[in-house]
């Protein structure tokens, strides 16, 4: 394994504490919803928990992938409004799955996570009593999912990652396999950031799509971009145990662009002046992708492998 790759530091300094924080924050969300399910009481815990997910959602290999949990945590993008349809089916039938954790784990993943919870907390509800039960069901499900993923990383998968190349390690037969999984996670997250988190609301100049922005109802769209960039910078530096001057400069440039945006839900994509700031940020992310391939991929001697955005 190249001396410039540090899987143990990545596990101990980045992955394990961030998944533990996600588990803790979602448990607080569960407790808040249990105590008082009204939106005003739940929203602060919702924001805190969602923030902790954005600080680790770029790590899509391992337990999250094995449990196919990412979509149940946050179902987005959602071009066919599967979240709305799944929520409508449950609500119109007053489905009792919301009162039983095992039954709720079997409903559509579109109705299980933050994306559905956001609608319950920010939109008028036709059946407030059912919405209360629904809110509690999602909070319980998120807490259980986060606890399971965090525990698996702590108790099993973390050791699998750092023992890459050891005899009997079927997940990572070589150190290069583990490095490629990590690097693919970083490159995939940057691609998702450029194409989806920024690209979907931008649409085209003639046809901007502000209603396609992620978490726009709770005005988190720009916040997701900023949290993602900061987290990817931290992950890259934990992983690559060598100075990454160009990569860090590129990260800082993109982060600076994100920090000065005054457009939390990307509603400004329809306004030429505000749109330009988002386009400049998107270009900064593209520049970052190029630098990452040259400075990190080349230094480590690896390239990105298959990712979930590649399709069939």
Q: Per residue in 83-92, pLDDT tens?
A: 999 999 999 9
239 versus 129: the higher-pLDDT residue is 129
Asked, colleague to colleague, whether 7-162 and 175-300 share their fold, the answer is no
pLDDT for 244 equals 87
pLDDT for 303 equals 61
By C-alpha distance, which of 73, 56, 50 is closest to 19?
A: 56
pLDDT for 243 equals 79
Percent of the chain having pLDDT more than 90?
A: 88
pLDDT for 164 equals 95
Per DSSP, what are the bridge partners of residue 224?
Answer: none
Give the CA angle between residues 64, 223, 287 to the nearest 5°: 85
pLDDT for 224 equals 98
CATH number of 175-300: 1.20.120
Mean local confidence (pLDDT), 184-190: 95
Is the pLDDT confidence value at 50 over 80?
Answer: yes
Instruction: Give the CA distances from residue 187 to residues 196, 197, 229, 235, 308, in Å, rounded to whole numbers and listed in that order.
Output: 14, 14, 12, 12, 11
pTM attached to this predicted model: 0.94
What are the residue ranges of helices labelled H in the chain? 7-9, 16-35, 39-54, 63-66, 70-73, 82-93, 101-104, 114-122, 128-152, 158-162, 175-192, 199-202, 221-239, 245-259, 272-291, 298-300
Mean local confidence (pLDDT), 184-196: 96
pLDDT for 1 equals 35
pLDDT tens digits along 253-273:
999 999 999 999 999 999 999
Domain ranges, ordered by start, for the chain? 7-162, 175-300
pLDDT tens digits along 155-174:
999 999 999 999 999 999 99
| Mean pLDDT taken over the chain | 93
Mean local confidence (pLDDT), 137-153: 98
**Which option is the CATH number for 7-162: 1.20.1420.20, 1.10.20.10, 2.40.70.10, 1.10.10.10?**
1.20.1420.20
pLDDT for 101 equals 97
Mean local confidence (pLDDT), 302-311: 50
pLDDT for 306 equals 45
Is the pLDDT confidence value at 307 over 60?
Answer: no
């Amino acid at each position: 394994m190249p001396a410039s790759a540090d899987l143990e530091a990545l596990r101990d300094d980045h992955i394990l504490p961030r998944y533990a924080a996600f588990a803790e924050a979602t448990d607080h969300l569960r407790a808040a919803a249990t105590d008082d399910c009204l939106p005003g009481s739940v929203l602060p815990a919702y924001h805190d928990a969602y923030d902790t997910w954005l600080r680790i959602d770029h790590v899509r290999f391992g337990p999250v992938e094995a449990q196919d949990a990412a979509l149940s945590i946050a179902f987005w993008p959602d071009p066919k409004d599967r979240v709305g349809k799944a929520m409508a089916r449950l609500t119109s039938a007053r489905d009792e799955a919301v009162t039983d954790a095992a039954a709720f784990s079997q409903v559509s993943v579109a109705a299980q996570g933050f994306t559905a919870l956001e609608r319950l907390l920010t939109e008028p509800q036709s059946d407030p009593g059912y919405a209360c039960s629904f809110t509690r069901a999602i909070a319980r499900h998120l807490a259980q999912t986060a606890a399971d993923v965090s525990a698996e990383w702590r108790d099993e998968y973390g050791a699998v990652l750092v023992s890459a190349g050891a005899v009997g390690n079927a997940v990572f037969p070589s150190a290069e396999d583990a490095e490629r999984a990590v690097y693919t996670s970083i490159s995939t997250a940057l691609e998702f950031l450029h194409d989806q988190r920024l690209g979907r609301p931008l649409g085209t100049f003639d046809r901007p799509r502000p209603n396609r922005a992620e978490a726009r109802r709770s005005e988190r769209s720009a916040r997701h971009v900023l949290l993602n960039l900061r987290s990817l910078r931290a992950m890259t530096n934990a992983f690559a145990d060598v100075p990454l001057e160009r990569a860090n400069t590129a990260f800082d440039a993109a982060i600076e662009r994100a920090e000065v945006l005054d457009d939390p839900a990307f509603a400004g994509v329809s306004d030429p002046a505000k749109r330009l700031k988002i386009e400049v940020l998107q270009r900064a992310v593209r520049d970052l992708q190029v630098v990452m391939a040259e400075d990190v991929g080349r230094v480590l001697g690896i390239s990105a492998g298959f990712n979930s955005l590649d399709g069939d």
